[in-house]
Amino acid sequence: KAGVTQTPRYLIKTRGQQVTLSCSPISGHRSVSWYQQTPGQGLQFLFEYFSETQRNKGNFPGRFSGRQFSNSRSEMNVSTLELGDSALYLCASNREGNTGELFFGEGSRLTVL
């Protein structure tokens, strides 16, 4: 069974640009969550999608957004990039999203210059 797939794995952007990250969940999983991981703040919850609807949102500015498609694949977008957005962005999937049994991808490492 294929795991969670995230693309791209690495990317470099400059301040002010925007970025889109993609996530394909495990087959049959309808919930997709996104997390930001930094050395200082650790893993922080961004948002969760289920059946194309955002059900939950963390404490991040509106520059961070996401969406989910009918096939459960998800994208997240960060606009007007700041240096502090440099992080590992992790996607996780779960069958229904109502338990803590999340399965993570390997992440997309974003560097903002």
Partner 1 sequence: QKEVEQDPGPLSVPEGAIVSLNCTYSNSAFQYFMWYRQYSRKGPELLMYTYSSGNKEDGRFTAQVDKSSKYISLFIRDSQPSDSATYLCAMMGSGGTSYGKLTFGQGTILTVHP
Q: Which of 12, 16, 55, 82 binds partner 1 (CB under 8 A)?
A: 55
Q: Are 63 and 2 in contact (CB under 8 A)?
A: no
Radius of gyration over every alpha carbon of the chain, rounded to an integer in angstroms: 13
Q: Which is nearer to partner 1, 4 or 21 (CB)?
A: 4
Q: Which is nearer to partner 1, 43 or 113 (CB)?
A: 43
Q: Are 92 and 74 in contact (CB under 8 A)?
A: no
**16: how many CB neighbours lie within 10 A of its CB?**
10
Q: Are 20 and 29 in contact (CB under 8 A)?
A: no
Please tell me whether residue 87 binds partner 1 under the rule CB under 8 A.
no
Please tell me whether residue 101 binds partner 1 under the rule CB under 8 A.
yes
Q: Which parts of this chain interact with partner 1 (CB under 8 A)? A: 4, 31-33, 35, 42-45, 47-48, 50, 55-56, 58, 90, 92, 94, 97-107
